[in-house]
Structure 1
Amino acid sequence: MADHDQSSSQTPSPISASALDPTITTSGPAPPRPAGWMYKGFRVAGHELWYASPIVQLFMVAMVCFLCPGMFNALGGLGAGGQVDPQAQNDANTALYSTFAVVAFFSGTIANTLGVRVTLAFGGLGYCIYAASFLSYNHNQNHGFVVFAGAFLGVCAGLLWTAQGTIMISYPPEDQKGRYISYFWIIFNLGAVIGSLIPLGQNINSESGPVTDGTYIGFIVLMLLGAFLALTLCNAGRVIRNDGSKVILMKNPSFVTEFKGLFETFTSAPWVVLLFPMFFASNIFYTYQLNDMNAAHFNTRTRALNNTLYWSAQIIGATIFGYALDYGSARRTVRAKASFVALVVLTFAIWGGGYAWQVKQVTREVATAEEPEYHKVDWTDGAQKYIAPMFLYIFYGMYDAAWQTCIYWYMGALSNSGRRAANFTGFYKGIQSAGAAVFWRLDGLKKPYNTMFGASWGLLAGALVFAAPVIWMKIKDTVPLEEDLKHTDETVEDVAPTVSRVQEKEQDV
């Protein structure tokens, strides 16, 4: 992943406490950037940017996710993958998240070895094949192809999301990680919002039946563009921040060194397992919200409208939490604890409202009967039937963004190392996908809607109990540079020339 050719025999030089103080500033400009088009500056809104800068690379990976998983979310948000019977999507998603869970656990090793560019590009391919399988299903009911496409997408998504997470939490400086996460989440969810407008427009007059072929074709084209866009990124070893510092990586990574790094992540930070329940619970609620609420109780065009509102609300949630997590007037430890309290309050307020709505709904057997007497809700049915669940669905979307933004920020607050970030993200996506696989399978087994709701809410609340010690005791106001350099072959001079200059001045004095 790195582009250095230096020997890996160097060891980190000692760093003085003042050199690690983030409030230290140095006189004069940051070290000059290397020659080449990647580092040639251009100005946007009064700020100088360059191609291999963190913000430009984040924007590009956000656009990849806008076009690939963003469109996937728009398709999934329709409930049942746009079909009437959710069985094909349930089986495909069970296969998807099963392979995702296995691949993602080791995908940090793969991303560190191959580089984020290749990892992202290969990861994007599975999305267009997944959408194509539903287009095929519209005509030939080929259930096997849909399940295969889901399994293949699991492999691809494991790689894509680990590369994305590495970029999002290791590229930005410590005081801007919340904003970078929110920038990504805004752009990514704009993909789902715009993608959801496609089926809304094409199915505006449709109250029943699957979505049209044109809907699937639109998704396929956009997803394919995303896979090609990933090839235009640069690898992490070329990225240089505003202060001249680089992302911490292994100089000469191999599968052997990266598997060793995966093991070292566990041994050096065993407390990370306390975050695993939070990882596990982070996608389980999609099954209930998309299939057991939206698809089960609303007609085709209303599902499409709900879908648009859900992903739009994600943008609001990500913006609020992303900027709040970077609030400069409070220490990072205080912000971490405040965000945790906010998650606890939202978990009981929003899901408590969801419980009040869910207990009044019909059972799965009534909602899915072949000739149902049950009238699925249309947006014209008035305030009592539609407005209340519409706002509930909006708050579900905001809650999802808040949960995901906080998890990424917590991981970013625990390390600034690109290598460790890849491993943390691999754990996150792997365990997240295991949870999703379990819940898609439960839905495939046609468990009662009340059971699906209760299991989702209970796991979210329980996960917060396990995560509390990490958030309260392990997140610090800053991560010392020498802590991030442990178990790598990078030195201070490699990754932080600005810090090195401060250290040299202190030694001169």
Structure 2
Amino acid sequence: MGFLPYFAAKTQIVILGFICFGCPGMFNALNGTGGGGQVDREAGNNANTALYVCFIISGLFGGAIVNKCGVRFTMFISGLTYALYSGSYIYINHTGKSWFTIWAGAMLGLGAGIFWTAQGMIMMSYPLENEKGKFITIFWVIFNLGGVLGGVILLGTNYNHEGSLSDGAYAAFLAIEIGGSLCALVLAPPSKVVRTDGSHVEIKKVENVMSDAIAILKLFADPWMIILIPMMFSSNFYYSYQFGPYNGSLFTTRTKGFNNIWYWGAQMVTSGAFTRLLDRQSLSRKKRALYGVLITLAVVNAVWGGTLKMQNKYTHGALATTPPTPTDYPGGAIDFKDTARAAGPCILYACMGIQDALWNNMAYWLLGTITNDASRLARYAGFYKAIQSVGAAVSWQLDAKSVAFRTQLIVNWVLLVISALLMVYLSFRVKEQTDGEDHGDFKEKYVDSDSEQDVAAQV
């Protein structure tokens, strides 16, 4: 990579990666165990529902807050809510009471909406046209190292422990998440960031947070956003099934951590390979978009088809009854040391990580083709996360309400296929070059004109 000046866009993406490595990266590893690492997933499922309901609100207002207050302190403060959430499970371990974790989930939802809006604005506005895929890869690899490290921590701290995660595991997550939030203070102000071609990132100053929030709501009239709503809705929807009915129900405690290493590790490799296609200049932008979506659709069908084959073998995981009821999967919970039983199910879980990387990389890349305006991209990021959170809130309640695992699987599969087909349609409307607030082939009348009245300034 060589020496990178502090204000270089690529340097800032690396810093952003480490912030997310420490905060949502650890959260993903913890969530990936199902129920936040508790045998009884009810508290974790309800906490996630509270999280994503609050995320909807903060996601809609996130663009206005980030545009008004800047990225450094908004990411620092919101990053601390991840530590609050992880630490709350220590309280459950000692009291058996879930209220604090549910409240912490709500606080995390408020913080995460702002956090991911800032991340999305940086991620989509700092790279040049031909660098968007490469910058996504740099970020995605560092970010998912957090999930890999989290899996290692879970495996190590629970190697000889069965049941809910230990206090030590939760404490380790809390400490790393505090470190990740502190990294946010190292970010440079966007106005000082220099792109590869020497240009600067321009941010339009927001004087009225409410008017900017209203501008985000007006995105419901934007044709790109309307067509992408199913993709946004589904982009975190499948986590509930993958982390709970699959990883949380089929495997021993230490194997859940082992699986997370490969789930997030597979994302790192996939992102690197996939974005080489998305940035390949020998192909037109339309072809790159179309090929990317078709590859994603093919992987979606392969992964969920294999998952259905597995799902037909069981109906529930371990239940926190007295005495505890084991899973009805043939032979009981799967341990990674039993290679003959574990190889197929563990590899399938890693393939779920591949599908997740393809889906989210494709989503960010498509959003990045709409405009290069950083303020508008902050709104798009907030809108994206708000809609994503609606889907996540619904999906976590499906598991909390004990909806049949097979039903959850079918809902996920159908939703992803419908979303991918709409993404195929949009692939034909992608323009070769995005300038300012160009929306591809859609007419300018759909573009929110209020943003043109903002006073151009730098935050």
Return the TM-score normalized by structure 1: 0.83
SS at match of 1:414: coil
Q: 2:365 — aligned with what? A: 409
Give the drift of 1:317. 1.4
In 1, the alpha carbon distance for the partners of 2:454 and 2:127 equals 18
Q: 1:249 aligns with which of 203, 215, 240?
A: 203
Instruction: Report sequence identity in percent.
Output: 38
In 2, the alpha carbon distance for the partners of 1:418 and 1:90 equals 35
Note if contact 2:60-2:216 (Cα within 8 Å) is conserved in structure 1. Answer: no
Q: 1:382 — aligned with what? A: 339
Q: When the two structures are aligned, how many residues end up with a matched partner?
A: 444
Q: 1:436 aligns with which of 392, 406, 414?
A: 392
Q: 1:233 aligns with which of 187, 190, 195?
A: 187
Give the drift of 1:459. 0.8
Q: 2:442 — aligned with what? A: none
When residues 388 and 261 of structure 1 are mapped into structure 2, their CA distance, relative to the original with a 3 A threshold, is same
Give the drift of 1:488. 3.9
Alignment map for 1:139-154 (pairs within 5 Å): 139-154=94-109
Indicate whether 1:213 and 2:167 are aligned: yes
Give the drift of 1:471. 2.2
Cα RMSD for the two superposed structures: 2.2
Give the drift of 1:479. 0.9
Q: 1:363 — aligned with what? A: 315
In 1, the alpha carbon distance for the partners of 2:320 and 2:269 equals 33
Alignment map for 1:431-470 (pairs within 5 Å): 431-470=387-426
In 2, the alpha carbon distance for the partners of 1:182 and 1:213 equals 34
Q: 2:70 — aligned with what? A: 115
User: After the TM superposition, which parts of structure 1 deviate over 3 Å for at least 4 consecutive aligned residues?
Assistant: 251-254, 263-267, 365-371, 481-492
SS at match of 1:148: helix
Q: 1:301 aligns with which of 254, 275, 292?
A: 254
When residues 226 and 371 of structure 1 are mapped into structure 2, their CA distance, relative to the original with a 3 A threshold, is closer
- Stretch deviating more after TM superposition (364-373 or 184-193): 364-373
In 1, the alpha carbon distance for the partners of 2:386 and 2:413 equals 21
Structure 2 residue identity aligned to 1:436: A
In 2, the alpha carbon distance for the partners of 1:490 and 1:154 equals 29
When residues 328 and 136 of structure 1 are mapped into structure 2, their CA distance, relative to the original with a 3 A threshold, is same
Note if contact 2:245-2:317 (Cα within 8 Å) is conserved in structure 1. Answer: no
Q: 1:391 — aligned with what? A: 347
Structure 1 residue identity aligned to 2:285: R
Structure 2 stretches of 5 or more lacking a match?
A: 440-446
In 2, the alpha carbon distance for the partners of 1:146 and 1:209 equals 18
Q: 1:163 aligns with which of 118, 125, 131?
A: 118
Structure 2 residue identity aligned to 1:353: G
Alignment map for 1:251-266 (pairs within 5 Å): 251=205, 253-255=207-209, 258-259=212-213, 261-262=215-216, 265-266=219-220
Give the drift of 1:261. 4.0
Note if contact 1:113-1:258 (Cα within 8 Å) is conserved in structure 2. Answer: no
> Higher Cα Rg: structure 1 or 2?
1
Structure 2 residue identity aligned to 1:226: G
Note if contact 1:193-1:312 (Cα within 8 Å) is conserved in structure 2. Answer: yes
SS at match of 2:281: coil
Note if contact 2:307-2:348 (Cα within 8 Å) is conserved in structure 1. Answer: yes
Q: 2:27 aligns with which of 57, 65, 72?
A: 72
Give the drift of 1:331. 1.4
Note if contact 1:249-1:488 (Cα within 8 Å) is conserved in structure 2. Answer: no
Alignment map for 1:2-17 (pairs within 5 Å): none
1:400-432 CA deviation, whole Å, 9 max, x = no partner? Answer: 011000000000111111011111111111111
1:335-371 CA deviation, whole Å, 9 max, x = no partner? Answer: 01111111111111111111111112x2127766644
Return the TM-score normalized by structure 2: 0.92
